[in-house]
Amino acid sequence: MTRAVPKAEIHCHVEGAASPDLVRRQAEKYGVDVSSFLDEAGYVWSDFTSFLAAYDGAAALFRTEEDYALLAETYLSDIAAQGTIYAEIFVSPDHAERSGIGTEGYLAGLGTGLERARRASGIECRMIVVGIRHFGPQAVEAAARFAASRPHALITGFGMAGEERFGRVADYARAFDIAREAGLGITIHAGELAGPESVRDALDHVRPSRLGHGARAIEDPALVERIAREGVALELCPGSNVALKVFDGWEKHPFEAMRKAGVKVTLNSDDPPHFGSSIGHEYEMAARTWGYDAAMLTGFTRTAIQAAFVDEATREKLL
Ligand code: HPA
Ligand code: ZN
Q: Encode pLDDT of 98-135 as tens digits.
A: 999 999 999 999 999 999 999 999 999 999 999 999 99
> 15, 73, 124, 192: which one is catalytic?
192
Examine residue 43 and state whether it is found in any structural domain, yes or no.
Answer: yes
Which residue among 271, 274, 275, 282 has the greatest number of ligand 1 atoms within 8 angstroms of its CB, and so is best to mutate? Answer: 271
Q: Which atom of ligand 1 is nearest to the CA of 130?
A: 10
- Contacts with 6 (C-beta within 8 Å, 6 or more apart), sequence order: 83, 84, 85, 298, 301
- The counts of H helices and E strands in the chain are 14, 10
Measured between alpha carbons, how far is 142 from 248 in angstroms, rounded to an integer? 37
Mean predicted confidence (pLDDT) in 256-272: 99
Domain CATH code at residue 155: 3.20.20.140
Q: Which pLDDT does position 213 carry in this prediction?
A: 98
As a whole number, the mean pLDDT across the chain is 98
Measured between alpha carbons, how far is 28 from 25 in angstroms, rounded to an integer? 5
Measured between alpha carbons, how far is 188 from 190 in angstroms, rounded to an integer? 6
Which residue among 245, 270, 277, 282 has the greatest number of ligand 1 atoms within 8 angstroms of its CB, and so is best to mutate? Answer: 270
Measured between alpha carbons, how far is 298 from 292 in angstroms, rounded to an integer? 10
Q: What is this model's ipTM? A: 0.93
- Contacts with 81 (C-beta within 8 Å, 6 or more apart), sequence order: 121
Examine residue 1 and state whether it is found in any structural domain, yes or no.
Answer: no
Q: Which pLDDT does position 151 carry in this prediction?
A: 86
Mean predicted confidence (pLDDT) in 282-304: 98
Using DSSP's 3-state secondary structure scheme, residue 225 falls into: helix
- Is 270 labeled as ligand-binding? yes
Tally of CB atoms within 10 A around 108: 15
Measured between alpha carbons, how far is 217 from 223 in angstroms, rounded to an integer? 6
- Is 205 labeled as ligand-binding? no
- Contacts with 242 (C-beta within 8 Å, 6 or more apart), sequence order: 248, 249, 250, 253, 275
Q: Which pLDDT does position 114 carry in this prediction?
A: 98
Q: Which pLDDT does position 248 carry in this prediction?
A: 98
> What residue's CA is closest to ligand 1, atom 3?
162
Q: What length is written for the chain?
A: 319
Measured between alpha carbons, how far is 208 from 252 in angstroms, rounded to an integer? 26
Examine residue 2 and state whether it is found in any structural domain, yes or no.
Answer: no
Q: Is the pLDDT of residue 292 over 80?
A: yes
> What residue's CA is closest to ligand 1, atom 7?
270
Q: Which pLDDT does position 285 carry in this prediction?
A: 98
Determine whether the shortest distance from the Cβ of 270 to ligand 1 is under 6 A.
yes
Amino acid at 111: G
Percent of the chain with pLDDT over 70: 100
Q: Which atom of ligand 1 is nearest to the CA of 15?
A: 9
Q: Is the pLDDT of residue 205 over 80?
A: yes
Examine residue 218 and state whether it is found in any structural domain, yes or no.
Answer: yes
Percent of the chain with pLDDT over 90: 98
CA of 163 to the centre of ligand 1 (A): 7
Tally of CB atoms within 10 A around 226: 16
Cα dihedral across residues 259, 268, 55, 309: positive or negative = negative
Containing 222, the helix (H) or strand (E) segment is: helix 221-230
Mean predicted confidence (pLDDT) in 282-311: 98
Q: Is the pLDDT of residue 58 over 80?
A: yes
Q: Which pLDDT does position 150 carry in this prediction?
A: 87
Range of the domain at 165: 7-318
Using DSSP's 3-state secondary structure scheme, residue 129 falls into: strand
CA of 162 to the centre of ligand 1 (A): 5
**CA count, 13 A, side-chain hemisphere, 248:** 0
- Is 271 labeled as ligand-binding? yes
Q: Where are the beta strands (DSSP E) in 175-222?
A: 185-190, 210-213
Q: How many domains, in total, are found in the chain?
A: 1
Q: Is the pLDDT of residue 1 over 80?
A: no
Model confidence at 204, pLDDT cuts 50, 70, 90, reads very high
- Contacts with 140 (C-beta within 8 Å, 6 or more apart), sequence order: 131, 132, 133, 160, 172, 175
- Contacts with 100 (C-beta within 8 Å, 6 or more apart), sequence order: 63
